[in-house]
Chains A and B, each alone.
Chain A
Amino acid sequence: MGPYRLQRFPSAAPGIALLARLGAIVLALLISALVLALTGAKPGALALQVVTASFGSQFGLEDLGLLVTPLIFTGLSVALALKIGAWNIGAEGQFYAGAFAASAVGLFLPVAEPLSLFLMLLAGLVGGALWILIPTLARAYAEVNELITTLLMNFVAVLGVYYVSTGPWRAKGANSTTARIPAEIPEFFGSLHWGLPAAVLLALLLALALARSRFGYEVRLAGSNPQAALYAGLPARRRLIAVMLAAGALAGLGGMVEVAGTVHRLQGGLSNSYGYLGIMVAVLARGSLVGVVFSAALMAFILNAGIILQTQGLTTSTVLAVTGLILFLTAIGDELAHYRLVRDARA
C-alpha cells in the first residue's frame, strides 16, 4: 500500500462532477465511433450530420424543444418525489392519466378557448395526482413500497387510454385515436409551443420554493433523515402525501401539455415512454430540480440524435446501444466523482 488511497466522499466537488460527466460522454462517443468505424460507417460524417441536423435548422431546434418539454415534466415529477425519499416509477401512468383527464375536458366540455385550456390544465393536474393517490396513501399509512405500486399503475393507465381511444372515444375514420381536441397551446416558433418555457419556468419556481420555504426545508429534512424529522416533530406523513401528490400532478401536467401542445389527440402511443425516461432524467440531474432542465435537454438531444442516425441507415438497436452506453458511463462517472485521492493516515 502506498501513502495514498481512494476515499469516497458523500458529496462530489462540483468541478470534478462536471468533469466526470463530460469525460463519460466523450468516452461513450469515442467508443461508439470506434465500433461504428469497425462496422464500416463514417463516424465523423455521422457526428457532423447529428450536430447540423439538431442545431443547424429550424426543424431540428423545434424537434429538440418538443422532445425536451415532456421530459422536463416527468423528470421534475420523479426528482420532486425523490426529495422526500419516494421513488415515483409511475410518471408514465400519471402522464397518461393527466392526458386522459385533459382530453376528456377538451373533447366533451363545450367551453371556448382560453378557458378550455385552463380547465384542461386543471384536469391534467388532478388526473395525475389521482393516479398516484392510492400508492401515496398505501405508502403513508401502510408502508407499502411505492416503487412497485406506482409501476403497476402504469399498465392500468396505458391500457385504459388504449381502450378509450380505440373504443368509445375513437373518431370516425381515424385509426386508433380520438377526434382532434380543439383547444391548442399556442405556438411561438414553428410547431414549438409555450409548453417549453412553462416547463422551464416551473422547474425554476419549484427549485426556488423548495430551497427558500419552510415547507421545502421540512421536505428535504424528512427526505434525507426521516428519523430526525420525526424527532423534530415535523408532520412527515403529511409532507410525504403532499409531495407525492404534487409529483403525480406534475407528470399529469406533462400529459396535458403533450396532448394540448404537440399531439392534439388522445391515443395509445402518446407518451413515447416519457415517464420512464423521466426516471433517467431525474437520476442524471442528481436531485437538482434545475438540473432536470439540463439533463432533460441532454436526453432529448440523445433521443433526437437517435432518430437522425436512423435516417442515416443505422438500425434501432445500434442507436439504443449508443444511448445506453452514454447513460451507463455517465452513471459510472457520477459515482467516480465522489472519490478523491487522499493521503493515507496510516502510512
Chain B
Amino acid sequence: MIDLRTLSRRGFLNMGALGAASMMLPAGVTRPALAAAPLAPVKEEEAVVAFSHVGPISDEGWTWAHHQGVLAVQEAYPKLKKVLEVENVPYSADATRTFRQFVSEGASVVFDTSSKGDFLYEVVKRSPEVAFLECDGHTVEGNLGWYYIAHWYPTYVLGVAAGHLSKSGRLGYVASFPVPSVFCSTNAFLMGARSVNPKATLQTIVINSWFDPQAAAQAGTALIDNGCDFLFGIMDEAAYLQVAEKRGVWAAMWNTDIRRYGPSAYVSSIIIDFRKFYVDQVGKRLAGTWAPGEFILPLGGGVDRDAWGEKVPKEVAAAADAVRDKILGGWSPFAGEIKDASGAVRLAAGQTMSEKDLYDWDWSIEGISGLNA
C-alpha cells in the first residue's frame, strides 16, 4: 500500500504515466486497493449505475462536466440495464434518501459527484454489495472510495497569468464555502500571481452556494468596486464572468469552457474531465476487479487549463504555459516558505506539500482576506 503522505509529485506523475501506458490504472491512482473481499462481477445487461449530482445538468459547469462522464459510460457500456442520474441533490437527509433509492433500484456502483459525507456513509455501511465512489470524499471503506482532481496545478498556472494581467495587483475571488477545495484554490491562485507580482493580494467573498448566479454576480460587482481587476472563483455557472465582461476586467473560471458568456474578459478555466475515470471504474466493477481507493486525477489526466482567451496576450500565455510545462515535468510550486494569513510560517523553507496536504489545505496564505473567520 502506498502512503499518500510520502508520495511525491513526481511519484504521482510516474504512476499516471504507468496508468496511461498499461490502460489498466486510471491516471492518478494513489491507493489502489484495500485488503477487502472484491465485489462479484456483474453482467453488463444486469448492471445499474447511479450518479447523484449537486446541481442541474444544464449548469454548463461542475454537474455538466460529470454528466459528460455519464454519457461516456453509456457509450462504453451500451447494454447497461439502467443508468440512474438525479440532479440537485441537497446536502441534507434527502441525499441519504436518494442513495437508498439507488440501492433499492439494484445499483452495482454509485457515484456521489459532490461530497455528501455522512449522508452517503449511512447507506454505504448497510449496502456492502454496492461499490460507492465519493467525489471530494475523505473515507475509504471496503466498498467506498473517493476521487478528486489536482486542480491546484492548473490554478497556479492561471495565477501566473493573473499576475501578469492584473494592473492593480488586487485579485478577487467568488467563493462558495470555506472548505478545503476553496482554501486550496485561493492559495494556489495567489501563489501563482505572487510568483510574478509579489505584492498581489486576493480578496474573497463567500456566497454559501456553488450555484447562485445572482449572489455570484453581486459578489463580482462588489469585488470590482473594491478595485479588483481580475476575478476568479469556484462557481458552477458564468454569472461573474458576465459582470467582468461588462465592467472590462479579466476573469478566469472553473469546470468548463464558458467563454461565450464573456469572450473579451475570459482568460481561461480549470477544465475538468471525469470521462476516462468513470468508464474505468464502471468497467472494473463489471469485471469484478473493482477495489476502493483514493484517486486524485493529475494535471493533464482529468484536469487542466482551458485554451487561452482571445484577448490574452501571447507573451502572458507563453509565460504561464512555461510554468505548466515545469509542473508537468515534476516541479511543485507548493514549497516553503509559506506563511498563513496571520503571518506565521506554516511550511518551512525546503519542505514541499504532498498531494494529500494540498487536498486537505484548510488555512489561507498571507495576502488572502475574507476566508478566515
| Known interface pairs A57-B104, A311-B86, A316-B88; A175-B179 also in contact (CB < 8 Å) | yes
Q: Once bound together, how far apart are the Cα atoms of A173 and B92, in whole Å?
A: 18
Q: Once bound together, how far apart are the Cα atoms of A227 and B17, in whole Å?
A: 83
Does residue B97 face the partner (Cβ distance < 8 Å to A)? yes
Q: Once bound together, how far apart are the Cα atoms of A262 and B95, in whole Å?
A: 12
| Known interface pairs A167-B178, A310-B87, A316-B88; A263-B118 also in contact (CB < 8 Å) | yes
Contact with B along A189-232 (1 / 0, CB 8 A): 01100000000000000000000000000000000000000000
Does residue A176 face the partner (Cβ distance < 8 Å to B)? yes
Which residues on A sit within 8 Å (CB–CB) of B88? 316
* Distance to closest chain B CB from A220 (angstroms): 35
Chain A contributes a number of interface residues (CB within 8 A of B) equal to 43
Does residue A40 face the partner (Cβ distance < 8 Å to B)? no
Chain B contributes a number of interface residues (CB within 8 A of A) equal to 38
Does residue A168 face the partner (Cβ distance < 8 Å to B)? yes
Of A170, A269, A308, A316, which contacts B92 at CB under 8 A? Answer: A269
Contact with A along B72-102 (1 / 0, CB 8 A): 0000000000001111101111101110111
| Known interface pairs A175-B179, A177-B117, A316-B87; A307-B98 also in contact (CB < 8 Å) | yes
| Known interface pairs A166-B179, A310-B86, A311-B86; A176-B98 also in contact (CB < 8 Å) | no
| Known interface pairs A176-B91, A269-B92, A272-B92; A307-B136 also in contact (CB < 8 Å) | no
Asked whether, in the complex, the Cβ of A175 is within 8 Å of the Cβ of B180, the reply is yes
Which residues on B sit within 8 Å (CB–CB) of A258? 93
Asked whether, in the complex, the Cβ of B104 is within 8 Å of the Cβ of A59, the reply is yes
Contact with B along A264-288 (1 / 0, CB 8 A): 1101111110000000000000000
State the total of A-B contacts with C-beta under 8 angstroms.
Answer: 96
| Known interface pairs A180-B118, A191-B122, A265-B118; A304-B87 also in contact (CB < 8 Å) | no
With both beta carbons as reference points, the residue of chain A lying nearest to B90 in the complex is identified as: A269
| Known interface pairs A60-B104, A167-B373, A263-B118; A162-B93 also in contact (CB < 8 Å) | no
Does residue A53 face the partner (Cβ distance < 8 Å to B)? yes
Does residue A315 face the partner (Cβ distance < 8 Å to B)? yes
Which residues on A sit within 8 Å (CB–CB) of B90? 269, 272
Which residues on A sit within 8 Å (CB–CB) of B357? none
Asked whether, in the complex, the Cβ of A172 is within 8 Å of the Cβ of B362, the reply is yes
With both beta carbons as reference points, the residue of chain B lying nearest to A267 in the complex is identified as: B91
Asked whether, in the complex, the Cβ of B105 is within 8 Å of the Cβ of A311, the reply is yes
Asked whether, in the complex, the Cβ of B138 is within 8 Å of the Cβ of A173, the reply is yes
Asked whether, in the complex, the Cβ of B118 is within 8 Å of the Cβ of A53, the reply is no
Asked whether, in the complex, the Cβ of A311 is within 8 Å of the Cβ of B93, the reply is no
Asked whether, in the complex, the Cβ of B101 is within 8 Å of the Cβ of A262, the reply is no
Q: Once bound together, how far apart are the Cα atoms of A272 and B94, in whole Å?
A: 8
Does residue B115 face the partner (Cβ distance < 8 Å to A)? yes
Q: Which positions in B face A, CB cutoff 8 Å?
A: 50, 56, 84-88, 90-94, 96-98, 100-105, 115, 117-119, 122, 126, 136, 138, 177-180, 206, 208, 360, 362, 373
A159-B208, A176-B179 known; 12 new pairs, CB 8 Å cut-off, are: A63-B100, A166-B177, A167-B178, A174-B138, A175-B115, A175-B179, A258-B93, A272-B90, A307-B94, A308-B101, A313-B85, A316-B56
List the 6 closest pairs (A to B, CB-CB), nearest first.
A167-B373, A269-B91, A269-B92, A272-B92, A59-B100, A310-B86
Show 30 A/B contacts (Cβ-Cβ < 8 Å), sorted by A: A53-B101, A53-B104, A59-B104, A63-B100, A66-B93, A66-B96, A67-B93, A162-B208, A163-B373, A173-B180, A174-B138, A175-B117, A175-B177, A175-B180, A176-B178, A176-B179, A180-B118, A263-B119, A265-B118, A267-B91, A269-B90, A270-B92, A272-B94, A307-B86, A310-B86, A310-B98, A311-B50, A311-B102, A316-B56, A316-B87
